[in-house]
Chains A and B, each alone.
Chain A
Amino acid sequence: MRVPDCSVDPFRLCAANMLDAKLHGGQVRLQTEVTGILREGNTVKGIRTHNRNTGADQEFYAPIVVNAGGVWGQELAQMAGIKVGMFPAKGSLLIFAHRVNNMVINRCRKPSNADILVPGDTVCIVGTTSSRIPLEECRNVAVTPDEVTLLITEGMKLAPRLASTRILRAYAGVRPLVSADDDPSGRNISRGIVCLDHEVRDGVKGLITITGGKLTSYRLMAEMATDLVCKKLGVDKACETAIHPLPGSEEGSYEEVAKKIWENPTTAQKVAAARMGSRVSRIRSTDRRDEALICECEQVTMGEINSAIDRLEASTLTDLRRRTRVGMGTCQGEFCACRAAGLLAKAHGCIEKERADIDYFLQERWKGNFPIGWGDTLREAEYTQWVYKHVLGI
């Protein structure tokens, strides 16, 4: 029996969707936090936002507001005076420093912890766990030692090789489980996609919520939400996202894409093609200096970073990490953090901000390293401490 599994690069998926929206005329505003929902009587008119970069507050108006805030959907709905019961479920995973498999390996049993070993890029990931956490904890999820032990033990049953494979990082995310009813204990969790028309459900016009589901059904969720938006706006058009490929995914494999652009692509050029698809043609440059490797572990060039800053809304190290994989390799930001920060400072002009950015980035990397802090991870951690504190003076 074979399951038609595959794995996807979630960072590339997200960036491609964002880019697609922009190409179709949408505006994307990052670092912009929704601080309130503007309501006039029973009608939602728009949102109030706060920009973390500029500190400015701004209001946006629209006939429909779509709440796609994931686990923060509850807070957002609350801003409109609406109750959507969410029961965040934390899941922890381990990333191994290299692949031990080229196909997804699943446990053939009822859903339980650490059921799946997924290869992707240069790593493989074992997951996951599930534990309810309070909403407040969502801003700062941490992987516990027990979870690490469980993931290693169960993971070894999927691939004994994992026992001697270096663990790169531990991380946790939160699933936005939605209650099917008003029961506060959350015993009845909605399975599948949840699309709430608040005009029908709560008598409040101009607001819908789309949540639940899984990553693999994200496009369908978006289709359901936009069908509902179109219905309310009186737009009679069918959704086409099921037919049109996302920007960069039109052509063949990343190797083919790279070969078309550079006859003899370097490793850095190939992995950039894996990250960006055919959009990678944007970073082709005649200036050799653009080939300078800012992140050696993940082979990220200065050209790719500048492209992410210019085209993909990257304004912090975390943004760069998500768009280009800077800091995600075995050194976990040891060298590249300062180099990339230098490029960001040059782009947006604020050194002070980049100093703080480096501190934040290193702390965030450490968060995922110390739960698996032994062996080579501990060696790298010691080196990082020495370099940043004694050599660089951070």
Chain B
Amino acid sequence: MRYDAVIVGGGLAGLTAGISLQKAGKKTAIVSTGQNALYFFSGCFESIQEPTPEILSLFSEAGVRVHYTPGVRLMPMGTFKESALALDDVSLFPAPDFGKKVLIINFMAYHDFFSSFLAQGLEKQGMECRIRFLNLGDLAQPELGPNQMRAVQIARKLDDVWEKVVQEVRVLLKDEDTVVLPQVFGLNDASIPERIRQGIPARVVFAGTLPPSVPGIRTQNLLKKRYEVLGGTYLLGDRVTGAHVYEDVVQNVVTKQLDRHYLEADHFILASGSFFSKGLSSNPFKIYEPLFELDMDYDTDRNTWYDPTFANHQPYLGFGVKTDAEFHPSRHGVPVKNLYVIGSILGETHPELGSGAGLAIRSALQVTQLITGKP
């Protein structure tokens, strides 16, 4: 099977590249194992301080509702972090002391939402907090068992009965100006968080939970759908297991499911993620990129990979595939002409592109430009 571009990895970087290339008239395929960093997305697009029109339309055209409001957001453990571009679910405030009296709502037996830590953080900002628990079993049958109380299972139930939650909150609400809810709404319907806001006569703040991230999965699904609507082929549940490189040109890649049906393309984009996603691998002696054996930028002395203090920045998080100004990697010093590398697999080798979501989106858009030759 031949494509204009084959993209290894279907997360934020891979999908951004795929969507932009399809829009530019290119025929592409994405190979994805199924999960990626969006599954623990906080809802904030890190390191995007000033979104370009291109970035904003990437989201709006996919139905991903975002807002650009430089400020701070409330983190699940009651702290605050500076952010600028975020999903609709995530409120951004000019300052941490955004309210006076807060009603925090959680579900009984839901251990992944930290209402007491949130309350403590808000009290530090001078707010008065009251925590109340809803019984999800009362709102949606059959009841979830104690070990099914995880964000995604709850969200699936709530997609049907979120209006009942709104009713309960309205009954519980006294004189609070703010209601804090867990981010377990709108798994399959991006309009639900806004509709919840409209139904509650107070400021509504959705605070995050332990992964999986409901807003993250929603975003992943919307972007994938957009990609497919544009004609892209998303090979879900497959994994690239090898590549044939001849004379510094990638001829094709091999996938587990497609076996001998190699994927051929003019251009290949590696967006396979960092260590957790297995885009980068490690053993006691080295850090390496397992698919193409690409040259890496890191220190071979293992003792330099870590900072013994957990809270400090960890050097290994900065390691990534070495690329030139046009995102071409090299093998033993020789650039691979038709291979591009984008996203978190770059580590901190392109600090000008930022980190996290910013790195994924910017590198993907720049590589799209390079491939299509259009600005």
Q: Chain A residues in contact with chain B, CB under 8 A? A: 142, 145, 149, 152, 288-294, 302, 335, 338-339, 341-343, 345-346, 351-352, 354-355, 359, 362-363, 365-367, 370, 373-375, 378-383, 385-387, 390-394
Contacts and interface: CB of A to CB of B under 8 A. Distances in A.
27 contacts: A145-B303, A289-B146, A290-B146, A335-B112, A338-B77, A343-B111, A345-B117, A351-B116, A351-B119, A355-B120, A362-B310, A363-B310, A365-B310, A367-B308, A373-B305, A375-B281, A378-B316, A382-B314, A383-B40, A385-B314, A386-B40, A390-B42, A390-B46, A391-B76, A392-B210, A393-B77, A393-B81
A338 B115 CA distance: 11
B114 A359 contact: no
Contacts of A393: 75-81
B161 to A, nearest CB: 20
Given A373-B305, A382-B275, A387-B211, A363 B114 contact: no
Given A289-B146, A342-B116, A390-B356, A374 B283 contact: yes
Given A293-B147, A342-B114, A394-B79, A375 B283 contact: yes
Contacts of A379: 275-276, 278
Contacts of A291: 145-147
Nearest to B143: A288
A289 B111 CA distance: 11
Nearest to A167: B284
Nearest to A366: B310
B282 interface: yes
B108 interface: yes
A382 B111 CA distance: 23
Interface string B67-81: 000000001111111
Contacts of B278: 379
Given A386-B276, A393-B75, A393-B76, A370 B308 contact: yes
B314 A394 contact: no
A373 B76 contact: no
Given A288-B145, A291-B147, A379-B276, A374 B282 contact: yes
A391 B42 contact: yes
B202 interface: no
A382 B116 contact: no
B37 interface: yes
B37 A346 contact: no
Given A370-B308, A391-B208, A378 B111 contact: no
Contacts of A391: 40, 42, 75-76, 208, 210-211, 213
A294 B117 contact: no
Interface in B332-375: 356
Contact of A339 (B78, B112, B302): B112
Interface string B110-130: 011010110110000000000
B51 to A, nearest CB: 19
B345 to A, nearest CB: 12
Contacts of B116: 342, 345-346, 351
A392 B208 contact: yes
A366 B308 CA distance: 7
B12 to A, nearest CB: 14
Contacts of A380: 276
Contact of B111 (A339, A354, A383): A339
Given A338-B114, A342-B114, 4 more contacts: A292-B109, A342-B116, A351-B119, A373-B316
A392 B77 contact: yes
A392 B207 CA distance: 10
A338 B147 CA distance: 16
Contact of A145 (B76, B111, B210, B302): B302
Contact of A351 (B81, B120, B302, B316): B120
Question: Which of A294, A341, A385 lies at the interface centre, i.e. has the most chain B CB atoms within 10 A of its CB?
Answer: A385
Interface string B254-266: 0000000000000
Given A345-B116, A390-B42, A391-B76, A370 B145 contact: no
Contacts of A302: 111, 146
A364 to B, nearest CB: 9
Contacts of B305: 370, 373
B165 interface: no
Contacts of B171: none
A355 B124 CA distance: 13
Nearest to A389: B311
B252 interface: no
A386 B37 contact: yes
Contact of B77 (A346, A378, A394): A394
Contacts of A351: 116-117, 119-120
Question: Which of A352, A366, A392 lies at the interface centre, i.e. has the most chain B CB atoms within 10 A of its CB?
Answer: A392
Interface string B205-222: 000101101000000000
B211 to A, nearest CB: 6
A375 B117 contact: no
A382 B310 contact: no
Nearest to B43: A391
B154 to A, nearest CB: 13
A380 to B, nearest CB: 8
A346 B308 CA distance: 31
